[in-house]
Structure 1
Amino acid sequence: MSALLQRRPAKTSESPAATGPRRRVGKAPTPGKQRRENLAAYGFLTPWFIGLVCITAGPLLASLYFSFTDYNLIGDYGWVGLDNYERMFTDERLHTSLKVTFIYVFVSVPLQLAMALALAMILDRGVRGLPLYRSVYYLPSLLGGSVAIAILWRQVFGAEGLINQVLAFFGIQGEGWVSHPDYALGTLIVLNVWTFGAPMVIFLAGLRQIPAMYYEAAEVDGAGPVRRFWHITVPMLTPIIFFNMVLQFINAFQTFTQAFIVSSGTGGPSDSTLFYTLYLYQRGFGDFEMGYASAMAWLLLMIIGGFTAVNFLASKYWVFYGD
């Protein structure tokens, strides 16, 4: 028996039992095959590159050039340098449009995010039919910027609209909300707040990622709902709040359809709904001052870029990433 054991070969690190089955190493692609794969990849990317150059980068650079000219869309144009930008300092309607836009942005966006977070917390409690509620609440975000919803909003807040009919049932005389200079902008703010579905879905996803043990530990320590909200929910959601805030601020600055439809393209009574984008449209396609409109577009880009940069710089003081 000992002789047999001595003749049995010992297992080494090279044996299949020790190392397992050997894997075949694939051959490196030949230069010709690699070239064909690269050409195929570039072919699939070609439509995107064409769209980038012809639809995005090309018009962007063209508008930058036209902002230094007196281009009127249909005739000859000449170089005017910084005249279009200097003209903005004395354009009273432009100042009005900036004021209206800032009020709209800094009032509607916080209200929209607060509404989205509140409903997300309600749905996070495990409501039956959550997918249905989520879809219903998300639907206004898909339709909020459409022409049909803007027309519907004009009918709801018109002199003979649904709101006034409800008020008349209680014996209250309503106003022509969209035609009154004191209330017209408020109706558009309500419309933007109503389109809270997109940030709500993102908030709901963020709430689902907060570990339940944090709430359980806080409850054991005697923390009430308010303290749990401010000391657990808000800090853990700050990246989501920051993300939603940046997106909604950018979208709000670019709002156009609602103001155009509700005010019939005029900017409302006493320019009360003269959004910046609407005034830009009037200058470019109403007065055919494309050079000046291009300069206005670049001013809007700088405003949005400036606010976005400030948000990113300030985020390091209040956004918590858990590290």
Structure 2
Amino acid sequence: MRVLIAEDDAGIRDLLHDLIHRQGHHVTLARDGEEAWRLFAEHGADVIISDWLMPRVEGPELCRMVRDSDAPYAYFILLTALADQQHHLTGRKSGADDYLAKPFDMEDLGARMVTADRVIALHRRRAALLRLARHVATAIEPSALFTILLEEAIQLNHMEAGFVSQIADQNESVIAQQLVGVGEAEAGGLLSAMREVAASAATQRRPATQGNCIAVALLHEGQLLGTVALGTRDPRRSFGREEAENLETMATLCAAALAALQRARLEGVLLAARTAQHELNNRLGVVLGYAEMLAEYPDLPASMTEVVNEIVNGAKDLAETVDQLRRVTRIRETPRPSLTGTTLDLHESVA
């Protein structure tokens, strides 16, 4: 995680840097609240550890500024020797997530960093789902929808590659693919591994993992619409339940959107067919009416009578075809459920 430390005491600032850096996090240092705010506004941070009493901008004020900004959520830890309950409450009201009293030890700080990592992961997931939902609401093409899905999934899960496949007419094809910083020499093997785990997810219809790859099936109302697969070059990478649930949630949202797009297109085709059927039916009525009038004309030459009869028979055959089209394109309307429900007569029930 990216950790921003705001502390005016050089000794404590350096100690925090060493402790946090030893845990594997990227650390940025600020000598007071004003500098911390400038660094946060320019570069952002996942976690902010701030002293309470500092020159110019104190810890609680810095926290309020962070909370009022449009930046992604940052886990805020207030660090102070003021350990009374009133200061604790004031810090919480300013928007702080946690409170660490001086003097502190490495285990206390480590426990808070674990909590911060979990909270930040939840906020990232929420933000990714919200962005994806906004795109789903306005999507008109599956390829654009699944490109956004890949971008969000790769970023959320810290992956380097991914693809989305779609199954249509029993044929599967890749409709979106992304490689982030992966060279040609590594791309082939990574894509092959992702295809293998995607096939497993499609067969099992549940999340599947294999080595440094993870995949889920695109399912909607029990129908398999495709797969989503992610991969990384890091051989040490493993996947837990949380990563699988994140990807499955995003895939389910997009599968529902894909089904809605397909239904909208089908309804558009049906509407066009019904319109064409209506127009054809009107024109056929005119043609058939005049043809039957000509067939009954007493002085019609024999050669013309044969032609008119062919026109009448052809128009009738075409009318039957149009009627079949009408039956095929008819959409049955499901009655809407009553909002008022059934009226219950209590007197009758008691009797």
Both proteins in one fold, TM over 0.5? no
Query: Counting helix residues as a fraction of each chain, which structure ranks higher?
Result: 1
Query: Counting strand residues as a fraction of each chain, which structure ranks higher?
Result: 2
If you compute each CA radius of gyration, which structure gives the higher value, 1 or 2?
A: 2
